[in-house]
Amino acid sequence: MKKHNFSAGPSILPKEVMLKASEAVMDLDGIGLSLIEISHRSKEFVAIMEKARSLALELMGLEGKGYQAIFLQGGASMQFMMTAFNLLEKKAGYVNTGTWSQKAIKEARLFGEVVEVASSQEDNFDHIPKRYKVPGDLDYLHLTSNNTIYGTQMKEFPETDVPLVCDMSSDIFSRQLDFSKFDLIYAGAQKNMGPAGTTLVVVKEDILGKVSRKIPSMLDYGVHIKQDSMFNTPPVFAIYVSMLTMQWLKDLGGIPAIEEINERKANLIYSEIELNPVFAGFAAKEDRSLMNATFNITDDGLKDMFDEMCKEAGVSGIKGHRSVGGYRASMYNALPIESVGVLVDIMSELEKKG
């Protein structure tokens, strides 16, 4: 049975990418060796790494603008700590939009003063805080552009002279943004970019080297940049599949093309949530995420029927996170609009039955 994979991450990747990755595990481009048994210093893998790095900058329109793209390990959780280790000298500001922001704040507190510039915690993070003031004396302001758990997404970003650091793990490469407004962007691969196991860090070089503490080599962005993202053995498979996925996106027309598709997918499900009395959206309308639609069933008596209908149709991964409950349909770049159609049909049918 065909599955419709709404998993919040690790999540769906393009079928053609998975096919090529599967082949490369047996034989990489006909060289007679597997992708996973060659040296990372081989010309084949060096070319893969360089292509991944340049595709990331190209997709974001950041080529020749003083940025470097590196592929690290440890996920966004490692970046919560690394950003502070590398950038926090005295005081940093954080906008608290949910669980991941909170984790970033917790790690940063080990390195300096942390100011919560704004927060929507009182409302269980059902919206994005707006119209807050950014103090001018911050080393940086940290933002989380999309909140998978709550289904909220920043549509606008603060105008400030303070360097902007942004966790884009769950909406990187999904919509057009002026990425040059940010000084450091990080994103775990396992939503829009590739499989779990690598994290993209895009950093404006001139913000580095300003803290006085000594930084262990593996945690020092400067060390990784200097070594062309090969300070030590990189996570070969995850970077290869990320490269393929970025190439797939480029061939599709890049971020402008996928943004249009993502908007159509989101419109489809949010229209249903609005019109169908059996369902109620969780996130504030103006902050709804293009990536993760969160919603509840208004009549608990219909829950089992809905779950059964989803299961029968091959819809998987829509259980909501425990801190919000209900449902969450994650619609990352690689999810076909047909899958959203299948889910919306079930929702509509449930209304008739209910």
Binding residues for its own copies (CB under 8 A): 1-3, 5, 7-13, 18-19, 21-23, 25-26, 32-34, 36-40, 73-78, 80-81, 85, 103, 106-107, 110, 188, 190, 195-198, 214, 216-219, 231-238, 241, 314, 316-317
Judging by beta carbons within 10 Å of its beta carbon (0-12, 13-18, 19+), is residue 133 exposed, middle or buried? exposed
Q: In this structure, is the dihedral angle defined by the CA atoms of residues 92, 97, 102 and 104, taken in order, positive or negative? A: negative
Say whether 191 is catalytic.
yes
- Closer of 283 and 334 to its own copies (Cβ): 334
- Interatomic CA distance for residues 316 and 254, integer angstroms: 27
Say whether 100 is catalytic.
yes
3-class SS string, 175-211: CCCCHHHCCEEEEECCCCCCCCCCEEEEEEHHHCCCC
Tell whether residue 248 is among the known ligand binding residues.
no
- Interatomic CA distance for residues 108 and 114, integer angstroms: 7
- Closer of 12 and 164 to its own copies (Cβ): 12
Residues in the chain, overall count: 354
Q: In whole angstroms, how large is the CA radius of gyration of the chain?
A: 21
Residues 6+ apart with CB under 8 A from 271: none
- Closer of 34 and 160 to its own copies (Cβ): 34
Tell whether residue 146 is among the known ligand binding residues.
no
- Whole-number minimum distance, CB 231 to its own copies, in Å? 7
- Interatomic CA distance for residues 190 and 196, integer angstroms: 5
- Closer of 7 and 153 to its own copies (Cβ): 7
Q: Which of 126, 171, 183, 191 is catalytic?
A: 191
Tell whether residue 232 is among the known ligand binding residues.
yes
- Whole-number minimum distance, CB 68 to its own copies, in Å? 19
CB of 169 closer than 8 Å to CB of 76: yes
Instruction: Please tell me whether residue 107 adopts helix, strand or coil conformation.
Output: helix
Tell whether residue 41 is among the known ligand binding residues.
yes
Tell whether residue 276 is among the known ligand binding residues.
no
Q: Which of 126, 139, 167, 287 is catalytic?
A: 167
CA distance to 86, 129, 266, 321, per residue, from 324 (Å): 33, 18, 20, 6
Tell whether residue 339 is among the known ligand binding residues.
no
Tell whether residue 123 is among the known ligand binding residues.
no
Q: Which of 298, 200, 186 is nearest to 241 (CA)?
A: 200
Which residue reads 């889910």 in tokens?
Answer: 343
Q: Which of 100, 126, 248, 287 is catalytic?
A: 100
- Closer of 23 and 349 to its own copies (Cβ): 23
In DSSP notation, 144-187 reads ESEETTTTEE-SS----SSPEEEE-TTTTTSS---GGG-SEEEE
- Whole-number minimum distance, CB 13 to its own copies, in Å? 6
- Whole-number minimum distance, CB 73 to its own copies, in Å? 4
- Whole-number minimum distance, CB 331 to its own copies, in Å? 14
- Whole-number minimum distance, CB 107 to its own copies, in Å? 5
- Closer of 3 and 353 to its own copies (Cβ): 3
Q: Which residues are annotated as a binding site for pyridoxal 5'-phosphate?
A: 76-77, 100, 148, 167, 190, 232-233
- Binding-site annotation: residue ranges for L-glutamate: 41
Give the annotated binding-site residues. 41, 76-77, 100, 148, 167, 190, 232-233
Where in the sequence numbering do the catalytic residues fall?
Answer: 100, 167, 191
